[in-house]
Amino acid sequence: MAKTSANTDQATGLRQLFAAEAVRVVALVGSQSQSVATALAMSLVDQDRKVLLVDEALCATTSHPLLEQPLGWDVGDVLRGKKALDEVIVSVAGVALMPADTEHLGRNLEAARIQLLDTFHALVVGFDCVIIHAASDLQRHGLGFALAATEVIVLCDESDHGITEAYRHMKTLNRMDDDRHFMMMFRGGNEAKAKFLFHKLTAVCDRYLELKPDFACVLPTNRLKAARTLEMFAVDMMHWPLQNDSNRFDAFMCRLLSATGSNLTAV
């Protein structure tokens, strides 16, 4: 019996390991990225994917496209020991939503941070994809979920200001010393203009950051057409090749442990 139990435990452990390796982690940064991250998560759910949406702009008191009213809690309550991680994650429209804003925390919470991330690692095994909506300030103190992702979708308005902001986000993420796969997604619906701006941006990125982003798609202003575009993009996204070892989920967790956690504080 002991041998059978050991074999069962080993098989379970192997399944969890391989499941974790298969989890795709994608961050979204830039213009109106919260609504796009939400819509992308829902598109994946419609395709029978299990999705965790980690929202770095969502805290106890803020609104969200999936919620009728603020939640009243966030991961700060986990770090303070008031709630368990599975108690702050809510299921809405088939999406598991994690309110992950830790910007306003205040005394050192290093031990609590490590415990939270250990729980996060065990929880994520059950998902096909983790979508991270990045905080507007990528350099703020807190848990750097978006900073740890190697696959990044940059939302960009079809304007010179839009590509300036996109370049700023990419420059920030490019400092994290890991190869990143940047995908440019433009909002506006004018594909010719979007591609012109994309080529303009990639020339600057190639020269000053030594990176070459890819063109993802153009989101039309019409909501129904935008939803259809995201449905097709979601299929493509889940089939992106894993480029190197940095795409592994365990590698993501290692980066997450060191990205910004040493600055966590709590009131």
Mean pLDDT by 10 residues, the chain (267 residues): 51 48 88 93 96 95 94 92 95 96 69 88 92 82 81 94 94 79 93 96 94 94 93 93 74 81 49
Domain membership flag for residue 5: no
Domain membership flag for residue 117: yes
**Phi (first) and psi of residue 115, to 5 degrees:** -65, -40
Task: State the pLDDT at residue 153.
Answer: 97
Task: State the pLDDT at residue 5.
Answer: 55
Domain membership flag for residue 264: no
Task: State the pLDDT at residue 11.
Answer: 47
**Boundaries of domain holding 175:** 27-259
Task: State the pLDDT at residue 1.
Answer: 44
Number of domains in the chain: 1
pTM of the predicted model, to two decimals?
0.88
Domain membership flag for residue 60: yes
Task: State the pLDDT at residue 260.
Answer: 60
Whichever domain contains 210, its CATH number is 3.40.50.300
Q: State the alpha helices, DSSP H only, in the chain.
A: 2-22, 33-46, 75-79, 85-88, 110-124, 145-148, 160-174, 191-208, 223-237, 249-259
Domain membership flag for residue 10: no
Domain membership flag for residue 254: yes
- Distance separating alpha carbons of residues 6 and 15, to the nearest angstrom: 14
Domain membership flag for residue 12: no
